[in-house]
Each structure stands twice: as structure tokens, then as C-alpha cells.
Structure 1
């Protein structure tokens, strides 16, 4: 998808603030500071449309970004931040659960995990919850540029095994710095929302073909 227009629409804190134009929605879920905002900026070729923050837990709303009048990226509150009160975490959790289970325009959740580290217990719980509830998910591992290319496969295997990842779920290695995985992720998104197909045409399944593997070139230190 060629991005010609991207704009921030709203920070929604309750359902009656969600957009009503019925565009497909792609939600980004992950730990605080895992790189969700940087991923959005790389995907739309903008430096700071999605604001990055050095303060984990800053995002406490559903931040909607409209792309080309074709879809929304919806940045969910980061989870796993200890300094947020238990009451606030429970409040966010209920809000996010209602969105993920009840939002009819949600087409796919991008579960964002740092490639450098094994999934946290929160990452594992989120993936298990999404699978249990039948919510379509794509695993995206960020910050691939922070480790040598020759170690990507090892780290990817650790993440897949820890999550108990379903082989039918796309798994994409991503780097906001290098642009690695950008085209592959757009391909997964386009396929999921039916972009470029005639209305009513049956959707194809997203399978293992969507997995992005590193090339066989020399290691990068």
C-alpha cells in the first residue's frame, strides 16, 4: 500500500468516541516502550505522527490514525508497566477487552514483541487470550537492528516457542530503523482487509507464506 495520507484522528477513552466511518481497524498491542509508535511512523513514512515517549505507560487511550481513508491503525495502551496503579491497569484491561471482543471493524491485532528478549508473561497472556477468543493476530518482532542478523532466527525461535505460536499466524521481523519487514507487514494487512479486491470477493487465508525470514547474507554486527 502506498501511503498518500496519514493523520491522527482521536485519542478515544470510551466507545462513543470511536470513528463511525466503518473503515477496517488494525490494533497494535504490546508492552510499554516496545516500539508501537515507531512502527506506525515507519509504516506510513512519517517521523513523528505517532508520538514516541520515554515514559512507559503514557498512552492511556486508543489512539486512532487514519491511513489513506482505507484503514485505521489503533495504538492500544501499553501493558506491563508496574508504576501504573492496579486500579488503573484493571480499568484499562476492561476497556481494551471490550474493544478487542466487541469492535466489529477490528480486522487484525498486531502483537508487538521485542525480538531481543523472550516474551514477557504479559505477552504470553495476551497471545493466549487472543487465540482463545478467536481474534486474528499477527506477531511482529521489533528492534531487529539491535542484534546481529545471524541471531535473528535463534531469537525468533525462542519467541515462537514461548508463545506456543500457531504456525498459521504471520510472524514478521521488523526494524523501524532499517525498514525491515515493512512491505511484508503491509502485505499481511492488505490481505486481511481485502485491500485491492472487488467488494464481495472471498478473502484468502493468511498462512505461513506471510512469515518473514532473514536472508542468508553475512552477519551484521
Structure 2
């Protein structure tokens, strides 16, 4: 799966019970506001505006489903931790995200996006620990690798890994990406293809 031939928007909502029927494998993308999620989704899909890119963090406020090649769902989830929205709004987003993540039986993997330029952020670590406590499958995508040297990215990934291994038995699958350079596209789509094959074998 080097490229996605067909990408179709299906539905946006705030209620996990209104999501599409769970009959196809599903992959959710989530991260701190302004981590580069929309750019990454557009890069993976090969579309310039599948996900709306905004200079204003916190733009995505809904659960957005896209059907990819009629065989799997890509889900664009609201970013977390944007300081300029009220606590009430943040709490509402949190409940929406938690309900979705813990209720979708066809959710194969949650891709957590981490800004590769930053040291481990408390809110990212807490969210990943939440996934661990709920035994939810995750992978990590380190974004914006083009903004710094390869060595610096590797150093920051190593620090993040060391931090996680304080509470985790092993580091989850991870990818380094750059939306502008299309770095990581082939590896991420290849990983999804492997998981799709496993899903189809189990379903048969």
C-alpha cells in the first residue's frame, strides 16, 4: 500500500454510537493541538485538503470518519490540550474521545502524534498512559522531523522512549514523519496494510 487511491469523507459527529457500522478495520489519529495531524492525514491520503488544516489549534472538534480504498476507516480525532478553550469544552472533548476509544470494537490502532522537536510533554504521557490502562492498541508517530536534524530527532525519540519505559514494559511501534517531505508515509501505510491483512484473516 504505497498510496491510497480513493479517500471518501463519511461522517462527522460527537457521538460514538453514530459512527459507521464497525465492519471494517479502523485507525484513529490523535495528538496535542497543533502537532501536525491534518498535514499528516493529508500526506498519507495523498489529498491536499482531506483534513482541514488551520493555523488555529483546536480546529478539529468532531470525530471525522474517512473511508480509504473502501477497505478501512481513517478517523481524525480532536486534538487535546489546547489552553485557549474553556475547561468545560475540554472536558466535553475528553468524554467524547474516551467514549469513542473505549467503545469501538473495530479500532485496530490508535496513532498518537508527538512533536519530535519537544521533550516529553506531560499531557502526551498522560494520554498514552490512559491508553495503556485501558489496554488499547497504539503506535506513536513523531511529527515535523523536517524541522530539525536527524540526530536531534533521534535524540528526542530516545528520551521519549526512556521516559515511557519507566512505566511501560516495551516501547510501542513508532514512526518518524514529515508531512512536507512525505517521510514515514510508506512505513505507516505498510504497517496499516499488515494490520488490515490480520483483521481480514481473523474475520474470515
Shift of 1:168: 5.0
The structure that is helix-richer by fraction is 2
1:209 corresponding residue in structure 2: none
TM-score normalised according to structure 1 size? 0.85
1:199 corresponding residue in structure 2: 201
TM-score normalised according to structure 2 size? 0.91
**CA contact 2:22–2:105 (8 Å) conserved in 1:** no
1:18 corresponding residue in structure 2: 19
1:184 corresponding residue in structure 2: 187
Map 1:128-139 onto structure 2 (within 5 A). 128-139=129-140
Structure 1, unaligned runs of 5 or more: 203-221
Aligned CA-pair RMSD:
1.9
1:175 corresponding residue in structure 2: 178
**CA contact 1:118–1:162 (8 Å) conserved in 2:** no
State the SS of the aligned residue for 2:120.
coil
1:93 corresponding residue in structure 2: 94
**CA contact 2:30–2:113 (8 Å) conserved in 1:** yes
1:65 corresponding residue in structure 2: 66
Shift of 1:167: 3.4
Shift of 1:176: 0.5
Structure 2, unaligned runs of 5 or more: none
CA distance in 2, matches of 1:177, 1:38: 8
Deviant stretches of 4+, over 6 Å = none
**CA contact 1:119–1:163 (8 Å) conserved in 2:** no
Map 1:21-40 onto structure 2 (within 5 A). 22-40=23-41
Aligned length: 201
